Structure 1
Amino acid sequence: MTEPPSRNPEKASAKTQQKRPELRVRPTAPILPPSNIQGSALMVVISIMAFLACLTLGGVSMVRSTAASWESQISREITIQIKPDDNLDMEKALTQARDLALTFVGTKSGQIVDEAATARLLEPWLGPGLDLKDLPVPRLVIITIDESNPPDFDSMRALLKESIPQATLDDHRTWVDRLVSMAHTTVMIGTGILLLVFTAMVLTVVFATRGALSGNRHVVEVLHFVGAESSFVATEFQKHFLKISLKGSAIGSALAALFFATAGFWQSRTLATPETDQATALFGTFSVGVLGYAGIFATMIVIALLTTFTARLTVMRTIYEIDTLRSDPTRTDGIGS
């Protein structure tokens, strides 16, 4: 006798499912190709913009740090200058000027700049082996003061003039004002350059986004016509430009960080040369420090976000124009033609 067919529905359903072919969902392709000539060119432009922005930021940071260091050093000291005279005992006058200055509240210490140190100060202009006795070179007394409680400079100046007519007091206020003005001017110039770089980058992204939309306008119109929301299309473009901007800004920021690291290393290895000494005196150290590198990283993130936000706004604006053309029956240059 033949065995009756199985009446178990679960077994029958399992056999049927085993015979059916598996349905595979085809992965959706992105609206924009992952890489093309326009994307590569945009990445290069963003790299250059990021490099210039980070270079400007690091330069402004270096100048501000150097100006702050100069201002701090100048604010901590005042200088008494005594001009030579035939009837003046220079060494006695230097000691007397130092002692008079130290009697004022707010002074900490005084140092007489000896002849050897004075000759070293004049060596870059007058050459080595200078004999100060042959030249009417003024002598200096450096007084260290309390920045939080400075002495009465007017009274000190009057007392020195009365006791030693050849003595003059320089409190460096003019230099401090010039340094503060220079620092503010440098910050304004750097801010202006950063704004120009960001503006150029935004315009470049706008043109690149519109170019990508023009090349894929039929795809965007079809997607939008069948019901795709503007946010969906904008998100696809946003992802595409986010990847490009992250790569470009990372390359430019890394090159800027490498530049500052290389310059700092070169400066540390050539400190004894006159060229490096002059550069250090003028610009300070080329090392931007931890805050400088953090600023470079922050600039990279800002550039990536700004690029992405610009691309999204451009796409939304373009889709709005498409909707306007479709809803206007009098226009024949859009999708309704």
Structure 2
Amino acid sequence: MSKQGQAPARKPAPKSAASATAKRPAIRLRPTGPIVPASNVSGRALMLVIAIMAFLACITLGAVMMVRATAESWQSQISREITIQIKPAEGLDMDKALSDARNIALSFPGTRDATVVDREATARLLEPWLGPGLDLDELPVPRLVVVTIDERAPPDFAALRARLAQVIPQAMLDDHRTWVDRLVAMAHTTALIGTGVLVLVFSAMVLTVVFATRGTLSGNRHIVEVLHFVGAEASFVASEFQKHFLKISLKGSGAGGLLAALCFLLAGWWQSRSLATPQSDQATALFGTFTIGYTGYLGIVATMIVIALLTTLTARYTVMRTIYEIDLIRSDPTRTDAVPE
């Protein structure tokens, strides 16, 4: 074929801009360091303080819940029963008087059962004080009738008391109102004391966080001032400190809360392993069972969260307040401590 019939040779296509860019070395950005040091001596000390405060707060919360539960149990047991006490007198047939008192109590609506405390049971009740082998005929010992009532619809105590006084003058009705009122007052007092302790713990923690935040700010004040003067908003600087103190508070409150939960678990385990011993019986009589239930552990978790949030918000408020003070110093040319432009 002639040269005219031959197809013209193609020129190599120019390299695309994308391929040329792909061969260029990638630009590596230098990582920016945090405004607040990740860990230092003051941060570890603050974490330890928060852990101690969280432990005390969780222990106080659990103790208040245990005492309230025990007081409610006592109140329920006392409110479920009333007692008819018959004093011995000359010419009184005690057995007949006990039977009449039982029948009178059962005749009132709101009573479920009535039991006469026999002579053997009465002697066992007095044995710790008067010793064994007690002869009730030799001492003027009152006899008891225990009446079980309906807590939701109790009987008319005034009418029952008047009926007993009419039929059996030596009988006296004890509805345990005095003990119930004392238990309610004790539960309320315990709750108030626990609330006061929690308020003191949280107040001390807030003050500690304020001082720690101001100490961290004073150590990094030049960095904060430079960032703020070149355009960094106060919220950005506060968020950096907020993240720093949030990590510290989460670690501290988590450690304190877990330690408190472990203490309650160990106390409950000890109580279950030492049943029917004098130490366990005394502890059970005073505090009830050393178990706080799932509500108590949820309360510990809630306390940990509240401590972490309170620490974070306190740090943020302190930083915003400090930056506001820096702006006031800078805007006032008459101040001798004004920051130079």
Q: TM tier, shorter chain?
A: over 0.9
User: Which residue matches 2:5?
Assistant: none
Tell me, yes or no, if structure 1 residue 286 matches structure 2 residue 290: yes
Contact map agreement 1:44 1:248 (CA 8 A) in 2: yes
Residue 128 of structure 1 and its aligned partner are, at CA, apart by 4.6
Provide structure 1 residue ranges, at least 5 long, that are not aligned to the other structure.
none
Deviations 1:134-176 (A, max 9, x none): 4332221110111222111112112212222221100111111
Distance 1:168 1:243 in 2: 65
- Following superposition of structure 1 onto structure 2, how do residues 9-24 of structure 1 map, counting pairs within 5 Å? 9-10=15-16, 14-15=19-20, 17-18=22-23, 20-24=24-28
SS in structure 2 at match of 1:9 = coil
Contact map agreement 1:80 1:170 (CA 8 A) in 2: yes
Instruction: Indicate the larger mover: 274-283 or 139-148.
Output: 274-283
- Following superposition of structure 1 onto structure 2, how do residues 43-54 of structure 1 map, counting pairs within 5 Å? 43-54=47-58
Distance 1:256 1:125 in 2: 40
Distance 1:280 1:131 in 2: 33
Distance 1:324 1:281 in 2: 62
Contact map agreement 1:267 1:286 (CA 8 A) in 2: yes
Tell me, yes or no, if structure 1 residue 310 matches structure 2 residue 340: no
**Please, which of 148, 151, 156 is the counterpart of residue 155 of structure 2?**
151
User: Which residue matches 2:231?
Assistant: 227
Displacement over 6 Å in runs of 4+: none
Residue 16 of structure 1 and its aligned partner are, at CA, apart by 5.5
User: Which residue matches 2:66?
Assistant: 62
Residue 259 of structure 1 and its aligned partner are, at CA, apart by 1.0
Distance 2:337 2:127 in 1: 78
Contact map agreement 1:326 1:335 (CA 8 A) in 2: yes
Residue identity matched to 2:105: A
User: Which residue matches 1:324?
Assistant: 328
- Following superposition of structure 1 onto structure 2, how do residues 195-214 of structure 1 map, counting pairs within 5 Å? 195-214=199-218
Tell me, yes or no, if structure 1 residue 248 matches structure 2 residue 242: no
CA RMSD across the alignment: 1.9
Residues 132 and 8 of structure 1: CA distance in aligned 2, closer, same or farther (over 3 Å): farther
Contact map agreement 2:257 2:301 (CA 8 A) in 1: yes
Residue identity matched to 2:144: L
Distance 1:69 1:50 in 2: 28
| Count of aligned positions | 333
Residues 70 and 54 of structure 1: CA distance in aligned 2, closer, same or farther (over 3 Å): same
Percent identity of the aligned residues?
Answer: 71
SS in structure 1 at match of 2:34 = coil
Instruction: Indicate the larger mover: 148-157 or 202-211.
Output: 148-157
Residue 7 of structure 1 and its aligned partner are, at CA, apart by 4.0
Deviations 1:190-213 (A, max 9, x none): 111111110000000000000000
Residue identity matched to 1:249: S
Residue identity matched to 1:179: L
Tell me, yes or no, if structure 1 residue 76 matches structure 2 residue 84: no
**Please, which of 162, 165, 169 is the counterpart of residue 161 of structure 1?**
165
Distance 2:256 2:184 in 1: 31
Tell me, yes or no, if structure 1 residue 185 matches structure 2 residue 189: yes
Distance 2:21 2:175 in 1: 99
Contact map agreement 1:102 1:110 (CA 8 A) in 2: yes
Residue 97 of structure 1 and its aligned partner are, at CA, apart by 0.9
Contact map agreement 2:165 2:172 (CA 8 A) in 1: yes
Residue identity matched to 1:14: S
Deviations 1:272-295 (A, max 9, x none): 013322321222111011101100
Contact map agreement 1:78 1:144 (CA 8 A) in 2: yes
User: Which residue matches 1:34?
Assistant: 38
Query: How does the TM-score come out when normalised to structure 1?
Result: 0.93
SS in structure 1 at match of 2:82 = strand
Contact map agreement 2:332 2:338 (CA 8 A) in 1: no
Distance 2:66 2:244 in 1: 36
Distance 2:260 2:138 in 1: 51
Distance 1:62 1:186 in 2: 10
Residue 230 of structure 1 and its aligned partner are, at CA, apart by 0.6
Instruction: Indicate the larger mover: 124-133 or 75-84.
Output: 124-133
Tell me, yes or no, if structure 1 residue 298 matches structure 2 residue 299: no
Residue 119 of structure 1 and its aligned partner are, at CA, apart by 3.2
Residue 127 of structure 1 and its aligned partner are, at CA, apart by 4.3
Distance 1:13 1:49 in 2: 60
Residues 289 and 15 of structure 1: CA distance in aligned 2, closer, same or farther (over 3 Å): same
Contact map agreement 1:325 1:336 (CA 8 A) in 2: no
User: Which residue matches 2:177?
Assistant: 173
Residue 31 of structure 1 and its aligned partner are, at CA, apart by 0.9
**Please, which of 261, 266, 269 is the counterpart of residue 270 of structure 2?**
266
SS in structure 2 at match of 1:66 = helix
Instruction: Indicate the larger mover: 194-203 or 126-135.
Output: 126-135
Residue 118 of structure 1 and its aligned partner are, at CA, apart by 2.6
